[in-house]
Amino acid sequence: SAVGRGPEVPFSSEAYRITATSRGKELRLTLAPLGPGEPQHLVFRFGMSGSFRLCPAAQLPRHAHLCFRTSESPPRALCFVDVRRFGSWQLGDAWQPGRGPCVLAEYQAFRENVLKNLDDKAFDKPICEALLNQKFFNGIGNYLRAEILYRLKIPPFEKARTVLEALKEQKRRKKNPSLTPSKKLKLMRENPDLLELCHTVPMELITAEKKLLDPDHSDNYAAFKNWLRCYLVPGMSSLRDRNGRTIWFQGEPGPMAPKGQTSRKKCVRLKADPEAPTPKVTTRALKRRSRAAVKPPKSAKEEEVADRLKKRHARGRRKATVAPALSEPEVPVKAKRSHRTAARRGRGEAGSS
């Protein structure tokens, strides 16, 4: 599209097959011609709202920044839709450098990459911030980190190295040669560690029968919201980390919590009773509300000054009504001159006679 931020895709073919491979937060599409020609690779990053949608070509959704059209009749289009335009694509098959192994597809490599690099300065930070570092946790995002820490009852602002070094001792216990494979599996299921949940929690969504992350279907999105145990859940606390991202949690935030912030709780919004009578609002009340919404609240000093002015005006009105008339000669009507006329003549303008 004209507003898309990605590069032009130099690919043309009468018929081609699209295949996809994911790694962490990236997706690689391969456009392979069914006849002669070289395949074209594209690597996508989705930002906060990027997604793919298959729809009729005549009814393209808004913010469809890249479209692959079918040759059927009527044609359809596979669209990359990104409302906020944070997503992007690049030509070629290379994954973005600096991203670690995928928490889903490369679990063992992901785990080893974390545990062998605990001396890295990334683990000097709170565990909630370290979980968003794609160099070590490729695929974990904001809602996943909240769900993982909540299930393990780990304070989000506990030091990451403190949390992860404890996994080495758990690893030795699970490698006990006296344990049978079934007992090891049972132990892992009953006592999962943080790195295991980085794999199993997102896997729950992928293996779910419903497409829980499809925002176009209200029932599916409602199912996803019901799946959440912590993120955006009423009654949970929240704080902003040093990167400005909000982390949801329950209980104490931890020793590395940012100073000067108070923990906020998401309130439960009660649904209004549909049978309750609707209160009548008059036009005058609506005007008062609109004026109150526009005017900023007065400070105590401003209110005091306003009260003094009101009292002064009230005293002036009382004096005008009580004082007797002065015995001054009445000024003839022709001699009276308005301030406006005087001002005009002072400027050299002609007054109205």
Domain with CATH 1.10.8.50 in the chain: 107-214+222-266
Instruction: Give the integer Cα–Cα distance in Å for 65 and 125.
Output: 37
If you search the block for the tokens 């928490």, which residue do you land on?
103
When pLDDT is cut at 50, 70 and 90, the band that residue 331 belongs to is: very low
pLDDT of 117 > 70? The answer is yes
pLDDT one-digit tens code per residue, 265-317: 765 443 443 334 444 445 555 555 555 545 555 555 566 666 676 666 666 65
Please answer whether residues 89 and 79 qualify as being in contact, where contact means their C-beta atoms are separated by less than 8 angstroms.
no
User: Residue for token digits 């301030």?
Assistant: 339
pLDDT reading at 51 higher than 70: yes
Which of 102, 103, 202 is closest to 151 using CA atoms? 202
In percent, the amount of the chain with pLDDT more than 70 equals: 66
CATH class of 16-91: alpha beta
Amino acid at 4: G
Do the Cβ atoms of 44 and 80 come closer than 8 Å? yes
CA gap 88, 77 in Å, rounded: 19
For residue 112, pLDDT beyond 90: yes
Quote the crossing angle between the two packed helices 194-207 and 142-152, to the nearest 10°. 120
What's the CATH class of domain 107-214+222-266?
A: mainly alpha
* Residue 170 pLDDT exceeds 60: yes
Closest CA to 128 of 251, 264, 240: 240
Residues of the chain with CATH 3.20.190.10: 16-91
The predicted-structure confidence for 201-255, as pLDDT tens digits, reads as follows 999 988 876 666 665 666 677 888 889 999 999 999 999 999 999 999 999 999 9
Q: What is the per-residue pLDDT across 27-39, written as a single tens digit (0 to 9) for each?
A: 999 999 999 999 9
What is the rounded distance in angstroms from the CA atom of residue 79 to the CA atom of residue 108? 34
- DSSP 8-class letter at 138: B
250 backbone φψ class: left, alpha, beta (φ>0; ψ -120 to 50): beta
Q: Are 20 and 44 in contact (CB under 8 A)?
A: no
The model carries a pTM of: 0.68
Average of per-residue pLDDT values in the chain: 80
**Cα(220)–Cα(201) distance, rounded to whole angstroms?**
18
Give the span between the Cα atoms of 345 and 350, in whole angstroms.
6
